[in-house]
C-alpha cells in the first residue's frame, strides 16, 4: 500500500471519505488520517495528529483546517474529541534544530499514529512522505487535508492544539506576540526578534532566527 495517492485536479476537490472507503473495501477497518501543523514557524513545536473517524459520526462541516475560521476549527476540534479516536505528538524547537524540520515532522507523525488508544491498521499521511518505522500500511497523500476527511480531521486537531499551546506561551515569552502570530514569521515577530533576540522557544537553525544570533 505504501506510496503516493495523487490525481490530476485533486486540488479542486473537497475532502470526502473516498480514500477511506477504498481501504475498507480491502479489509482495513481503522484508518488513521495523519497531518501536522507548524512546519513554517520560527518558534514553537511541530504538532502532529492522528485521527480515526467513526464513519457514522463524522462532524458536519469537517474540512481542511486552512479553509476554516478559527471559530469553526474550535467547534470541530471539540466535536472530534467526542466522536473520534485521536492522538497528538510534538517535536520541540530543539528537536527541529537537531534533526531538521522534515525529519522532526515525520517522526512526530509516526509517534502520533503509535499513540492511538486502539491501533490503526492503515494510515493516510498528508504530504509526499510516509514516516519511517510505521508498523502498518500507509499512503502519502499530496494535499491530503483537502482530499480525505480523516486527514482533514487530523489537520484540525494539530492546528488547534498548536495554536492553543502558542497562546499559552505568550505570558512566558512576552513581547513577541505569540498569541497572535503563533510563531510564524510575521513582520511583528521579526521585529520582536531583532529587538529582543531569540528565546529557547525559537528554532535557531531557521535563517531569520540565526541572523539575530550574530
Name the pLDDT band for 3 (thresholds 50, 70, 90): low
pLDDT tens-digit series, residues 10-27: 444 689 999 999 999 999
pLDDT-above-70 percentage for the chain:
93
In this prediction, residue 10 carries a pLDDT of 45
**Chain segment 195-214, per-residue pLDDT in tens:** 999 999 999 999 999 999 86
Helix axes 149-169, 70-83, angle to 10 degrees: 110
> Residue 210's pLDDT is what?
95
pLDDT of amino acid 5: 52
- Which pLDDT tens digit goes with each residue over 36-75? 999 999 999 999 999 999 999 999 999 999 999 999 999 9
d(CA 71, CA 68): 8
Per-domain residue ranges of the chain = 3-171
Q: All 3 cell numbers of residue 15?
A: 475532502
Specify the pLDDT at position 136. Answer: 97
Fold of the domain spanning 3-171 = Nucleotidyltransferase; domain 5 (3.30.420)
Residues 6+ apart with CB under 8 A from 133: 110
Average confidence (pLDDT) over 118-140: 97
**Full-model pTM:** 0.93
Amino acid at each position: 500500500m505504501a506510496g503516493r495517492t495523487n490525481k490530476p485536479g485533486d486540488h479542486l476537490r473537497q475532502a470526502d471519505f473516498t480514500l477511506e472507503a477504498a481501504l475498507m473495501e480491502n479489509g482495513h477497518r481503522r484508518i488513521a488520517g495523519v497531518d501536522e501543523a507548524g512546519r513554517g514557524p520560527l518558534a514553537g513545536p511541530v504538532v502532529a495528529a492522528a485521527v480515526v473517524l467513526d464513519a457514522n459520526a463524522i462532524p458536519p462541516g469537517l474540512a481542511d483546517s486552512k479553509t476554516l475560521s478559527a471559530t469553526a476549527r474550535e467547534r470541530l476540534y471539540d466535536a472530534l474529541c467526542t466522536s473520534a479516536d485521536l492522538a497528538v505528538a510534538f517535536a520541540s524547537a530543539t528537536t527541529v534544530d537537531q534533526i531538521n524540520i522534515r525529519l522532526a515532522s515525520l517522526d512526530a507523525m509516526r509517534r502520533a499514529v503509535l499513540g492511538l488508544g486502539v491501533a490503526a491498521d492503515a494510515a493516510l499521511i498528508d504530504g509526499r512522505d510516509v514516516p519511517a518505522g510505521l508498523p502498518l500500511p500507509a499512503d502519502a497523500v499530496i494535499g491530503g487535508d483537502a482530499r480525505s476527511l480523516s486527514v482533514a480531521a487530523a489537520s484540525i486537531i494539530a492546528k488547534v492544539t498548536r495554536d492553543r499551546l502558542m497562546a499559552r506561551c505568550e505570558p512566558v515569552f512576552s513581547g513577541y506576540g505569540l498569541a497572535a502570530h503563533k510563531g510564524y514569521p510575521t513582520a511583528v515577530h521579526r521585529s520582536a526578534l531583532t529587538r529582543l533576540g531569540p528565546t529557547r522557544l525559537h528554532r535557531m537553525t531557521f535563517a531569520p532566527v540565526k541572523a539575530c544570533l550574530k
